[in-house]
Amino acid sequence: MDYIKKLSRFIIPYKKYAYLNIFFNVLYALFSTLGMVSLMPMVNVLFDENVKLSIKPIWKGIHSIEDFGNIKPYLEDSLNYFITSITEESGPQRALMYMITLIIGIFLFKNLFNYLALYFITYLRNGVLKDIRNSIYKKIIDLPISYYSEKRKGDVIARISGDVGEVQNSLLAILELIVKEPLTILFSIIAMFIISVKLTLFVFIFIPISGFIISLIGKRLKSHSQKVQNEQGVFLSTLEETLSGLKVIKGFNAEPLFNKKFQESTTRFFNFSNVLGHRQNLASPTSEFLGIATISILLWYGGSMVLTEKTLTGGAFIGYMALAYTILTPAKAISKASYKVKAGNAAADRVLEILNTESPLKDKVNAQEKKSFDNAISISNISFKYQDDYVLKDFSINVSKGKTIALVGQSGSGKSTIANLLTRFYDINEGNIKIDGIDIRDLKKEAVRGLMGLVTQDSILFNDTIKNNIMLGVESATDEEILKASKIANAYEFIKDLPDGFDTNIGDGGGKLSGGQKQRLSIARAVLKNPPIMILDEATSALDTESERAVQVALENMMRNRTSIVIAHRLSTIKNADVIIVMKKGRIVEQGNHEELLSKQGMYKKLVDMQSIA
């Protein structure tokens, strides 16, 4: 039941379907047993072995525990009386026809109940699958960016696709394991006891032996299943990296290297899958062989009771054998289902590992909303490290409303880290960041990011239309607002020349557009959001000179009357900033405007001279 507990929060919303499935599985198990029992009177009619009974039996009721023993004789006598009456009135063929009709009716209901049980379990399985996938996706976008610097993307994809599918398949298996098949076996054993206690006790000698042998096969199934699922994550990660970096792979003639890496992973997957498959495949033939061995012993022992001891009729023995064989099918199903459950258990562990991961950036219980930016951003004595070494040390700046602050310095000086901390992609280790005097950790993340627009060096666009990329996060934007934003971003000049204009699909990652066009779309997206604070993280560093000029015009248009924090590699883009902060190894070494810093003849002057823009 540990498996059910793990997934209970996803199963509970669909519990009515589980109850209906259980109800119809009970009826299915009952009618499966009745179907086999109904063979007995048919055989007796066929071979004229019925007890002739011309007086209708009378039911005396149940007044004590001992009276329960009268049920079986009463039912047998009633059936014998019915068959005797029909045979005398219409002949044995009519009696045989009635018995065959009874069998057909029982098997019709048995299969109807089986269909209804599967009908309702479908809603449970697919509903749980949908909810788990939705929960994982929500968790994926809720978890901080730092989580994905440690995880392979392909492994996460494997969990939301393959592992969740494994969980779905095992849900049917587990309901069969705890309801359908055990009840079929239980009802069959009860019927077997009613027919012959002696023969049934003899059967029970062999059942524990069979169960022990089958359990040995499945012992290490979960660990093998986990290896298969982990390796699936590895080769999906390789595939994702290959598709993302195809230009680099081809440019460096690295196709053989990645091909080898992928094939090594699929070979490991092949070997793990073979071991797992062999264990699973061994279950069915083993259980069937053990079942047939038990049946063979029954044939010998039961046959002697019919032929020698005369303690069992031929019809009862055939019915008993049918019941014994009936047990084989659910026993095989249980052994198969137990393997599926173990595989599903391993998959559930991998799925729940993501779902149970706590985000270190969760909003506080009493986190505040904030809709406006009124005074200043204050960064006071902050220190931060991604892993072991601090990338920012005792860093402090104040950004007044309406001012443009530029951060410059060598690579690795901590400029982009400031952008990550302001947008609260990461939390600082020491110090505080405040907006209008409120620590951003006391605000909702959504409120902090709602006040900010972010344009990064890498133009992150989606495989959709230009219009939908621009209006990301502003779903209610009108066509007029989208047009205005694109003009401010200097993007309309190329959009109007596209065959479908704003409805043009830009391909995966904006692959149909140039670098400058993609960056201007990113700026248009930020303009449409119309945030009071704009963060530009090296927004022009990846562009050629012509594209840079077009983008720079767009940036200047966007920054008018806004508070802006500009992280720049190319110093030509920040000459007009109100304050330029020069950073080195996570500390501020100089600050002032362009002219002031040039006059200091310090690090800023060296950077300017290297770029030859003074």
At 380, is the pLDDT very low, low, confident or very high (cuts 50, 70, 90)?
very high
pLDDT at 327: 75
DSSP string, 405-451: EEEEESTTSSHHHHHHHHTTSS--SEEEEEETTEEGGGB-HHHHHHT
Instruction: Kindly tell me the burial class for residue 331, based on how many C-beta atoms sit within 10 Å of its own C-beta (0-12, 13-18, 19 or more).
Output: buried
Q: Is a pLDDT exceeding 70 seen at residue 73?
A: no
Q: Which of 65-69, 125-129, 206-210, 215-219 has the highest mean pLDDT?
A: 125-129
| Coil/strand/helix, residue 280 | helix
Distance in angstroms (rounded) separating the CA atoms of residues 68 and 275: 52
Tell me how far apart the terminal alpha carbons of the chain are, to the nearest angstrom.
Answer: 73
Span 64-79, average pLDDT? 61
Q: Are 408 and 580 in contact (CB under 8 A)?
A: yes
Supply the angle between the helices 314-355 and 207-217 in degrees, to the nearest 10: 30
Q: Is 253 helix (H, G, I), strand (E, B) or coil?
A: coil
Quick one: pLDDT band at residue 189, thresholds 50, 70, 90? Answer: confident
pLDDT bucket at 614, cuts 50 / 70 / 90: very low
pLDDT in tens, 165-179: 777 777 767 776 777
Q: What is the predicted pLDDT for the residue at 108?
A: 93
Backbone angles phi, psi at 6, to 5 degrees: -60, -35
Neighbours of 373 (CB within 10 A): 18
What's the whole-model pTM score?
0.72
What mean pLDDT comes out for the span 541-561? 68
Torsion of CA 308, 192, 322, 207, to 10 degrees: -100
Averaged pLDDT of the chain: 79
Are 71 and 57 in contact by the 8 Å Cβ rule? The answer is no
User: In angstroms, what CA-CA distances link 65 with 3, 56, 182, 196, 243?
Assistant: 40, 24, 27, 21, 74
Q: Confirm if 118 and 175 have CB atoms less than 8 A apart.
A: no
Q: Is the pLDDT of residue 547 over 70?
A: no
Q: Which of 324-333, 521-530, 596-605 has the lowest mean pLDDT?
A: 324-333
What dihedral do alpha carbons 503, 505, 509, 515 form, nearest 10°?
-70
- The 3-state DSSP class for residue 392 equals strand
Task: Give the whole-angstrom CA distance, residue 234 versus residue 158.
Answer: 9
CA-to-CA distance for 442 and 369, rounded, in angstroms? 9
The predicted pLDDT at position 510 comes to 80
pLDDT at 194 over 60: yes
Between helix 314-355 and helix 164-175 the angle, nearest 10°, is 150
Q: Which two tokens stand for residue 444?
A: 């909702």
Q: How far apart are CA 487 and CA 219, in angstroms?
A: 66
pLDDT band of residue 613 (cuts 50, 70, 90) is very low
pLDDT in tens, 223-262: 666 677 677 777 777 777 776 666 567 666 777 888 888 8
Give the Cα separation of 561 and 531 in Å (integer): 11
* pLDDT on residue 109: 92
- Residue that has been written with the tokens 């009721």 in this structure: 61
d(CA 40, CA 318): 7
pLDDT digits (tens, 9 = 90+) for 20-37: 998 999 999 888 888 877
Q: What percent of the chain has pLDDT over 70?
A: 79
Angle in degrees, CA 299, 303, 306, rounded to 5: 150
Residues 453, 73: Cα–Cα separation, whole Å? 85
- 172: nearest Cα among 336, 347, 350: 336
Q: How far is 561 from 527, CA to CA, in rounded Å?
A: 12
User: Are residues 527 and 538 in contact, defined by beta-carbon separation less than 8 angstroms?
Assistant: no
Closest CA to 539 of 513, 512, 518: 518
Following CA atoms 59, 63, 66, 72 in sequence, which dihedral angle do they give, to the nearest 10 degrees? Answer: 20
Query: Rounded CA gap, 298 and 202, in Å?
Result: 8
Distance, CA of 16 to chain centre: 23
Q: How far apart are CA 528 and CA 465, in angstroms?
A: 16
What does the pLDDT read at residue 83?
A: 67
415 has a pLDDT exceeding 70 = yes
Q: What is the mean pLDDT of residues 42-66?
A: 62
Strand blocks (E) in 260-340: none
Q: Report whether pLDDT(375) > 80.
A: yes
Candidates 564, 614, 524, 545; CA nearest to 407 is: 564
Task: Quickly list DSSP for 498-567.
Answer: STTGGG-B--GGGTTS-HHHHHHHHHHHHHHH--SEEEEESTTTTS-HHHHHHHHHHHHHHHTTSEEEEE
pLDDT at 116 over 90: yes
Distance, in Å, from the CA atom of 611 to the CA atom of 407, rounded to the nearest integer, reads 16
Is 78's pLDDT higher than 70? Answer: no
Model confidence band, residue 436 (pLDDT cutoffs 50, 70, 90): very high
Residue 115: the pLDDT is 92
| Torsional sign, CA 190, 191, 194, 196 | negative
How far is it, in rounded angstroms, from Cα 266 to Cα 246?
20
186: which 2 tokens? 């239980």
Give 519's contacts (C-beta < 8 A, 6+ positions apart): 455, 459, 539, 540, 542, 543, 547, 551
What are the tens digits of pLDDT across the range 198-230? 777 777 776 666 656 655 655 555 566 667 767
Give the pLDDT of residue 564: 87
| Residue given tokens 């053989």 in the structure block | 256
Distance CA 19, CA 364 (A): 39
Reported as a pLDDT band with limits 50, 70 and 90, residue 62 is low
111 pLDDT band, cuts 50/70/90, is very high
pLDDT of residue 294: 72
Length of the chain: 614
pLDDT tens track for 33-44? 888 777 776 666
Q: What are the helix and strand counts (H, E) for the chain?
A: 24, 10
